[in-house]
Amino acid sequence: MQLSPLVFVGGLLLVYAALAIVVAVVFASPTVPLSRRRPELQASQHTSGLTKLTDHAVTALNQQLRDRGPGLLSRERLDSAGLKKQPGDYLLFGGAAAFVAAAIGFVLGGLVPAFLLLVTTPVGLVLLLNVLVSRRRRKFDEQVPDALQMLAGGLRAGHSLLRAVDAAAEENESPMKDELSRVVNETRIGRDLGESLADVARRTSNEDFASITRAIEIHREVGGDLAVVLDNVGETIRDRTRLRGQVKALSAEGRMSAMVLMALPILMFTGLVMFNPTYSKTFLTTIPGFLMIAASVVLLAVGGFWLSRLIKPKF
């Protein structure tokens, strides 16, 4: 079987074309597109209208919250909760969550459940923020003795105070790591070390860290061996922590009783709705029923607050 010369020439041209493509791909100098060299330019070119509207709304909300001063929702409050967001972001998220909850309530139950969800969703977000703040402060309280021991050890090894704080930040976990790293960064840009440490004590509401701050300030004024002073402060803090643990163990029965008393009405109402829907319609479909539920929630909240004060001794 003989091949035509045209077929031979065509195959040869295809081979040369393949070689040219390989050379062009392998040996050609790669050029990085502008979108990869300057991603912020691409982001600004492809920003949607909804994103721009959201950015303007967040900026306006942050400005309004700054003008009103510190309150229930402030930047310091979000820092205490460990949230790396502006107050406007959290407020906008709360409004969107309340709107979605109200829409779901209207679809499932009508106007009254929609109104209840619209009111209770922001309250739930505020309670969630308080829970995050309490959890972060509790973990910070547990880390203070170890951080103080690391700080005293760094000073005893010959490091400066700022370097000892930096080393303690590197060896700890969040939230102690975040707070001490913030102190180091603020000090490096010119802020006084004592002011930064005082802000940490105020932000975490920690009396032990406030004692450490006062000890450091006194040492900076009168001099002396700061490592020995911090060792004495650390011993006092450990004794106080031991006493706090004993008080917590002695009040465990009261806290358990408070949890049972708080959960019992909720569980009973849930069981009533599940096992006897006809009887529970009085609470879910009539105005007196909604009023009774609202009164129950208020009384339950007051009772829970009262019990929390009884089982939280101060020493």
**What pLDDT sits at residue 43?**
47
**What pLDDT sits at residue 218?**
86
**What pLDDT sits at residue 117?**
81
279 and 291 share one domain: yes
- Residue 276 within a domain: yes
Where residue 308 falls among pLDDT bands split at 50, 70, 90? confident
Question: Interhelix angle for 287-310 vs 277-285, to 10°?
Answer: 90
**What pLDDT sits at residue 17?**
61
279 and 245 share one domain: no
- Give the domain range for residue 217: 139-249
Please check the confidence at residue 210 and state whether its pLDDT lies above 50. yes
Check which CATH number belongs to the domain holding 148 and give it: 1.20.81.30
226 and 156 share one domain: yes
Task: Outline where the chain has alpha helix (H).
Answer: 5-27, 34-37, 39-45, 49-68, 75-81, 87-109, 111-156, 161-171, 176-188, 193-204, 207-222, 226-250, 252-275, 277-285, 287-310
Task: Give me the mean pLDDT over the 294-305 stretch.
Answer: 84
**Backbone dihedral region for residue 74 (phi beyond 0: left; psi -120 to 50: alpha; all else: beta):** beta
Please check the confidence at residue 273 and state whether its pLDDT lies above 80. no
What is the tens place of the pLDDT at every residue in 101-159? 888 877 777 777 778 888 888 888 888 888 888 898 888 888 888 888 888 888 888 88
What is the tens place of the pLDDT at every residue in 11-63? 556 555 655 555 554 444 444 444 444 555 444 455 555 565 566 555 665 56
Query: Burial, 24: exposed, middle or buried (Cβ in 10 Å; 0-12, 13-18, 19+)?
Result: exposed
**What pLDDT sits at residue 68?**
58
- Residue 112 within a domain: no
**What pLDDT sits at residue 41?**
46
Domain count, the chain: 2
Where residue 230 falls among pLDDT bands split at 50, 70, 90? confident
Domain closes at, from 203, 225, 249 = 249
DSSP 8-state symbol, 276:
-
**What pLDDT sits at residue 13?**
60
Determine what percent of the chain is predicted with pLDDT higher than 70: 75
Domain closes at, from 249, 271, 302 = 249
What is the tens place of the pLDDT at every residue in 179-195? 899 899 989 898 888 88
Task: Give me the mean pLDDT over the 159-169 stretch.
Answer: 87
Which residue type is seen at 315? F
Please check the confidence at residue 88 and state whether its pLDDT lies above 50. yes
- Residue 70 within a domain: no
What is the tens place of the pLDDT at every residue in 49-86? 556 556 655 566 556 655 555 556 677 777 777 777 77
169 and 242 share one domain: yes
Please check the confidence at residue 162 and state whether its pLDDT lies above 50. yes
**What pLDDT sits at residue 156?**
87
221 and 146 share one domain: yes
**What pLDDT sits at residue 307?**
76
**What pLDDT sits at residue 49?**
58
- Greater model confidence, 173 or 18: 173
Domain closes at, from 249, 266, 297 = 249
- Residue 298 within a domain: yes
Token pair of 61 as six digits: 């909300």
**Backbone dihedral region for residue 223 (phi beyond 0: left; psi -120 to 50: alpha; all else: beta):** left
Give the number of C-alpha atoms closer than 13 A to the C-alpha of residue 140, restricted to the C-beta side: 27
163 and 229 share one domain: yes
186 and 259 share one domain: no
What is the tens place of the pLDDT at every residue in 278-289? 777 777 778 888
Task: Give me the mean pLDDT over the 230-245 stretch.
Answer: 84
